[in-house]
A and B are shown apart, each in its own frame.
Chain A
């Protein structure tokens, strides 16, 4: 099974500054045949279901602000939130869908400093 490790567990960022969340998989999630990384990023706010932000490690979903960006390949991935807004306070999860069982990182709680 693929283990996903996120860091940090939480971070506090000033409004307008940049938040950076890291995610590491225990094995590569890059399919050589299509050169795609099977990584999603989700945002979850209190009392709400998760929201898909980014798939294929770097492809933003429709309607997701462009201050959210994903990068990385192989085993190391990053979610960057540029110019943090108050509405970005949430827990963020990476997930691998390279194979089953699908697995999530432990989550990173983003707060306003």
Chain B
């Protein structure tokens, strides 16, 4: 059974960037699509973007385009989410999630445990 393990909590200053990792165990990161979803305090779930590793080109939600970068690394069996130009509104728990197939437009059946990113001066 595939598991996704994310990197630890981050404290960042406004204007800086954060990079969160998501390592797959029990299977290949390249076998399925990977999405990134966040949940800000008191808010609902927000899909940020996704990628099918074997195809390479990520698909970003318009609100994050320009400051979000999603990548994968087969050598470490990991996916990464980097968000730049952080503001306090980016304070949230960030999740990676695996789609069931090789398309981003799919349900996510395996989720990482979440990474809290706090943006504060």
Are the C-beta atoms of A106 and B44 separated by less than 8 Å?
A: yes
Are the C-beta atoms of A50 and B95 separated by less than 8 Å?
A: yes
- Expressed in whole angstroms, the Cα–Cα distance for A98 and B111 within the complex equals 20
Q: Select which of A52, A98, A101 is within 8 A of B109 by beta carbon.
A: A52
Using A1-B62, A49-B113, A49-B114 as known contacts, say yes or no to A104 and B44 having CB atoms under 8 A apart.
yes
Q: How large is the interface on A (under 10, 10 to 19, 20 to 34, 35 or more residues)?
A: 20 to 34
- Expressed in whole angstroms, the Cα–Cα distance for A98 and B47 within the complex equals 14
Using A40-B107, A100-B104 as known contacts, say yes or no to A50 and B113 having CB atoms under 8 A apart.
no
A interface majority secondary structure: loop
- Expressed in whole angstroms, the Cα–Cα distance for A56 and B113 within the complex equals 25
- Expressed in whole angstroms, the Cα–Cα distance for A38 and B35 within the complex equals 16
Q: Which of A61, A93, A102 has the most CB of B within 10 A?
A: A102
Are the C-beta atoms of A49 and B112 separated by less than 8 Å?
A: yes
Q: How large is the interface on B (under 10, 10 to 19, 20 to 34, 35 or more residues)?
A: 20 to 34
Are the C-beta atoms of A61 and B109 separated by less than 8 Å?
A: yes
Are the C-beta atoms of A55 and B62 separated by less than 8 Å?
A: no
Are the C-beta atoms of B95 and A49 separated by less than 8 Å?
A: yes
Are the C-beta atoms of A101 and B44 separated by less than 8 Å?
A: no
A97 contacts which chain B residues (CB < 8 A)? 105-107
Whole-angstrom distance between the Cβ of B99 and the nearest chain A Cβ = 9
Are the C-beta atoms of B47 and A101 separated by less than 8 Å?
A: yes
- Expressed in whole angstroms, the Cα–Cα distance for A103 and B37 within the complex equals 10
Q: Which of A45-104 contact B (CB under 8 A)?
A: 49-52, 55, 61, 91, 93, 95, 97-104
Are the C-beta atoms of A42 and B45 separated by less than 8 Å?
A: yes
* Chain A: CB-nearest residue to B45: A104
- Expressed in whole angstroms, the Cα–Cα distance for A105 and B61 within the complex equals 15
Whole-angstrom distance between the Cβ of A16 and the nearest chain B Cβ = 28
Using A42-B45, A49-B114, A93-B45 as known contacts, say yes or no to A102 and B109 having CB atoms under 8 A apart.
no
Q: Which of B45, B60, B105 has the most CB of A within 10 A?
A: B45
Which 8 interchain pairs have the tightest Cβ spacing? A49-B111, A101-B61, A107-B44, A55-B107, A102-B47, A104-B45, A40-B107, A97-B105
**Could you list some 8 contacts between A and B, CB below 8 A?**
A49-B97, A50-B95, A52-B108, A91-B44, A97-B107, A102-B105, A104-B44, A104-B47
